[in-house]
């Protein structure tokens, strides 16, 4: 059965969330920009805790998680509909308990954590009381994890970690890190790497500097270069068993990628809203911008691009709920990841152009969206790598032609068709 309608009860909840985000949460982006991942000061706590409480009262806190983990068990499709609203604001995901990278990290803790690990890390993470960081990329290369050299060596019932990690988002404000490390260099990296849970205050975890994105002052930013120097952790710090890092990474990144896509819908929609308002407000060369054919094309192209993207994201989320296995949906998650930067880039760029000089100024959020689109083409893996994944998955459904001629080669097909209908063809010729 195909159905594109939202259940009316849930739609009511979404309508509430839409109003709540616009009125109560978006202002936080203006008064406390870039502070959503930092520990709460008493002043911020008063506001933020109250907002979180109102979300909980509506049953919208961490909705994608199962009830035993404090969520509603709504799954990915309902999260997608909610995330489209939250994507408008940097603070909203934190207020609703579904922010990156913590959702992905919570997911692998829920999936692979021991009861002790869940109690120590997952519970407070879900309560929104602490943040986490995923520490995988290394300075010498991120797209290819087989290049990683950060190493853990066993010492009795402990492991000692040494190496460098780069772009570990939120590490400076996180309470713990999930670190991907080589534990056995003698086997393939697919079996020789493990995930470790490392509290950020463990001796030897040195955050060398925080790298910022474009627009952030040098030395400030959320993406840490970390030196792990003789970091000693017990056996119980291994997540999901020795040698399981690749399997865990796939679970981790599958969820993270689709959640970014859901939020991107909200951001792109915001850009279209801005473009349309401007088109109806600005008059030049004898008419409104909205009457110019090129501007109309900007609006139509943006709507078409967003609608296609949205349907792809919702369909992919629906599949994740249906199969409950990211591996089965890998092709479409990678497809979403591939298109996402272009959709946001194109729409934000057009909206920016329609705003003229104001559009590229620091008085509008449009340039930040364009930069954000570039980030989406790198974070969680570069577009090129995901295209390879999509192509490989598609090619699995095909095989080579039997001989030098393609199976759709017309002379052979025509010959086969003629042979099949030979009796009728002879009759036709006889009747001429």
Pick the closer one to ligand FAD by CB: 131 or 298.
131
| Interaction site with ligand FAD (CB under 6 A) | 101, 134-137, 141-143, 167-169, 223, 375, 378-382, 384-385, 388
**Tokens 């049953």 -> residue:** 59
Q: Contact 226/157 with Cβ under 8 angstroms? A: no
**Minimum CB separation from ligand FAD for residue 111, in Å?**
18
Strand partners, 195: 180, 239
**Tokens 């940097």 -> residue:** 90
Strand partners, 50: none
Pick the closer one to ligand FAD by CB: 97 or 256.
256
Pick the closer one to ligand FAD by CB: 252 or 269.
252
CA 129 to chain CA centroid, Å, is 22
Answer whether the bond into residue 101 is a cis peptide, omega within 30°: yes
**Minimum CB separation from ligand FAD for residue 385, in Å?**
5
CA-to-CA distance for 388 and 396, rounded, in angstroms?
12
Pick the closer one to ligand FAD by CB: 83 or 172.
172
Pick the closer one to ligand FAD by CB: 75 or 101.
101
Pick the closer one to ligand FAD by CB: 61 or 134.
134
**Minimum CB separation from ligand FAD for residue 216, in Å?**
11
Pick the closer one to ligand FAD by CB: 145 or 192.
145
**Tokens 């000089």 -> residue:** 357
CA-to-CA distance for 280 and 287, rounded, in angstroms?
10
∠ at Cα 370 (344, 309), nearest 5°?
A: 5
**Tokens 């407000």 -> residue:** 281
Q: Contact 117/197 with Cβ under 8 angstroms? A: yes
Query: What ranges make up the beta strands (E) of 235-329?
Result: 238-239, 283-284, 287-288
Pick the closer one to ligand FAD by CB: 6 or 371.
371
**Minimum CB separation from ligand FAD for residue 179, in Å?**
9
Helix, strand, coil percent values for the chain (each to nearest 5): 55, 15, 30
**Minimum CB separation from ligand FAD for residue 99, in Å?**
12
CA-to-CA distance for 346 and 301, rounded, in angstroms?
9
**Minimum CB separation from ligand FAD for residue 1, in Å?**
38
**Minimum CB separation from ligand FAD for residue 34, in Å?**
13
Residues 6+ apart with CB under 8 A from 1: none
**Minimum CB separation from ligand FAD for residue 113, in Å?**
19
**Tokens 């001429």 -> residue:** 432
CA-to-CA distance for 357 and 407, rounded, in angstroms?
55
**Minimum CB separation from ligand FAD for residue 148, in Å?**
10
**Minimum CB separation from ligand FAD for residue 166, in Å?**
7
CA-to-CA distance for 319 and 322, rounded, in angstroms?
5
CA-to-CA distance for 239 and 251, rounded, in angstroms?
13
Pick the closer one to ligand FAD by CB: 375 or 422.
375
Pick the closer one to ligand FAD by CB: 168 or 183.
168
Closest CA to 250 of 93, 102, 104, 121: 104
Closest residue (Cβ) to ligand FAD? 142
């Amino acid at each position: 059965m195909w159905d594109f309608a939202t259940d009316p009860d849930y739609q009511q909840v979404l309508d509430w969330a839409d109003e709540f985000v616009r009125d109560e949460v978006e202002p936080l982006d203006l008064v406390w920009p870039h502070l959503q991942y930092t520990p709460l000061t008493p002043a911020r706590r008063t506001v933020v805790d109250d907002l979180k409480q109102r979300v909980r009262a509506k049953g919208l806190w961490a909705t994608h998680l199962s009830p035993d983990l404090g969520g509603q068990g709504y799954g990915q499709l309902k999260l997608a509909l909610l995330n489209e609203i939250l994507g408008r604001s940097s603070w909203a995901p934190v207020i609703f308990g579904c922010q990156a990278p913590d959702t992905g990290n919570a997911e692998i803790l829920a999936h692979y954590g021991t009861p002790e690990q869940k109690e120590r890390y997952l519970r407070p993470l879900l309560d929104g009381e602490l943040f986490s960081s995923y520490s995988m990329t290394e300075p010498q290369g991120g797209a290819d994890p087989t290049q990683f050299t950060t190493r853990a060596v066993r010492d009795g019932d402990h492991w000692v970690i040494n190496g460098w990690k780069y772009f570990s988002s939120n590490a400076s404000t996180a309470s713990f890190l999930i670190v991907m490390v080589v534990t056995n260099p003698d086997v393939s990296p697919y079996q020789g790497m493990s995930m470790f849970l490392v509290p950020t205050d463990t001796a030897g975890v040195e955050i060398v500097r925080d790298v910022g994105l474009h627009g952030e002052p040098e030395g400030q930013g959320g993406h840490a270069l970390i030196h792990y120097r003789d970091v000693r952790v017990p056996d119980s710090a291994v997540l999901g068993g020795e040698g399981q890092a690749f399997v865990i990474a796939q679970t981790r990144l599958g969820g993270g990628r689709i959640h970014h896509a859901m939020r991107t819908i909200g951001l792109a929609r915001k850009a279209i809203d801005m473009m349309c308002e401007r088109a109806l407000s600005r008059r030049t060369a004898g008419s409104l911008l909205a009457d110019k054919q090129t501007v109309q094309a900007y609006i139509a192209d943006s709507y078409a691009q967003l609608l296609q993207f949205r349907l792809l994201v919702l369909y992919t989320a629906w599949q994740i709920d249906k199969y409950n296995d990211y591996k089965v949906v890998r092709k479409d998650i990678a497809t979403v990841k591939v298109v996402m930067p272009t959709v946001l880039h194109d729409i934000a760029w057009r909206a920016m152009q329609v705003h003229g000089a104001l559009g590229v100024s620091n008085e509008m959020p449009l340039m930040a969206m364009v930069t954000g689109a570039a980030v989406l083409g790198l974070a969680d893996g570069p577009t090129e790598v995901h295209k390879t994944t999509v192509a490989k998955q598609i090619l699995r459904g095909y095989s080579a032609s039997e001989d030098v001629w393609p199976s759709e080669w017309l002379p052979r097909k025509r010959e086969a068709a003629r042979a099949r209908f030979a009796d009728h063809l002879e009759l036709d010729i006889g009747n001429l």
